[in-house]
Structure 1
């Protein structure tokens, strides 16, 4: 599996932003090659529907047929790349690009919510060490765009280093990792008279 797929066409990004397509792509990345029927059972959909979306993912270069076919009667698919990347500024230059990025970010938030829900539902089955290590945190700091870009790069470097170190460790498990950062402006204050009325 190649490391990254650099998307430059908004239509390609929009094509993968479909909720079921992203779910199928995620399963092929995390669980390995599978057929439409195998994936259909995992996502509780019909094999006809999963087959259609798998063909669409293949058309745009996200997946390909697995050369190691176990059964000639049914195609097995595999992910081509480990993750997607794109140029935010380039995508923001057109309405289609902005819509595509907004759609895929929404899918990423939905994946975060689903991952958290699955963990909470299975919390009793995890060891105290995993319960302690897992979680979500947030912070608000002042950074320049250059510093935020550097933060992302350092994060990627450390993540790859730790993943390589733990590749053969018996205690290692798949870990779903999300990180995001958005600039924000302080909320504007309301009219003075409204503030006075609320304080009475």
Structure 2
């Protein structure tokens, strides 16, 4: 079986069946684990997720049916290994929301990303404590949040520019022995002001600046 190509992606914008398949939190996590850690068996994934092998095996077959995963070369005749078929899942929000199940998918995927961030923070702290990361990462790692006033167009532009810059830096550091796997999570979530709140939207401008790690602005 061919390994997934580094730039390969699957676009869910016009595939309601695939959208529905990815509304299950465990399937999202299994796909993420295969992309991050490489091929694995259902039993190995069960040990990682705390699920049963029967459960992970079933959900892997569903993912395979919709083209998210494929069989990987087996190490012996008794095992069945799985690999991610693509490195990225992409979609267009506006078009996606017009599809059946699009809103459910977006809500599920966003909650999964928040959960992923929590697990990543736990792993990061454990790796630092155990000395598995170079000391320089203590200063380089960051978790920031900002409260800005943006238009929808500006928020979309921010996402595009961040993605482009991230890809540029990743390409620059490819093959560098000092590079480590870095989990990057971004969000731009507008919230409406509350008319009965003494803190109006006019008082929450961009000059508030970034909050410190783990603090709300």
TM-score, normalised relative to structure 1: 0.84
Q: Which of 46, 54, 60 matches 1:54?
A: 60
Which deviates more from structure 2 when the two are superposed, residues 85-94 or residues 149-158?
85-94
Contact 2:120 2:183 in 1 (8 A): yes
> 4+ residue runs of structure 1 moved beyond 4 angstroms?
none
Which deviates more from structure 2 when the two are superposed, residues 176-185 or residues 36-45?
36-45
2:90 aligned partner: 85
1:45 aligned partner: 51
Contact 2:23 2:105 in 1 (8 A): yes
Contact 2:25 2:108 in 1 (8 A): no
Instruction: Structure 1: state its 5+ residue gaps.
Output: 192-200
Residue aligned with 2:9, SS:
strand
C-alpha separation between the residues in 1 aligned to 2:36 and 2:100?
32
C-alpha separation between the residues in 1 aligned to 2:98 and 2:74?
42
C-alpha separation between the residues in 1 aligned to 2:197 and 2:33?
47
1:184 aligned partner: 191
C-alpha separation between the residues in 1 aligned to 2:57 and 2:102?
27
Contact 1:19 1:107 in 2 (8 A): yes
Instruction: Structure 2: state its 5+ residue gaps.
Output: 199-217
2:32 aligned partner: 26
Q: Which of 141, 144, 147 matches 1:137?
A: 144
Give CA-to-partner distance per residue, 1:55-93, whole Å, 9 cap, x none.
011111111112x33223222111111121122222323
Residue aligned with 2:87, SS:
strand
C-alpha separation between the residues in 2 aligned to 1:46 and 1:99?
26
Q: What is the deviation of 1:123?
A: 3.0
Bigger CA radius of gyration: 1
2:212 aligned partner: none
Q: Which has the higher helix share?
A: 1
Q: What is the deviation of 1:18?
A: 2.0
Residues paired across the two proteins, number: 190
Contact 1:14 1:104 in 2 (8 A): no
Residues 139, 190 of structure 1: alpha-carbon distance in 2 compared, 3 angstrom cutoff:
closer
Q: What's the Cα RMSD here?
A: 2.1
C-alpha separation between the residues in 2 aligned to 1:145 and 1:178?
19
Q: What is the deviation of 1:190?
A: 5.2
Q: What is the deviation of 1:54?
A: 0.7
TM-score, normalised relative to structure 2: 0.78
2:209 aligned partner: none
C-alpha separation between the residues in 2 aligned to 1:45 and 1:108?
19
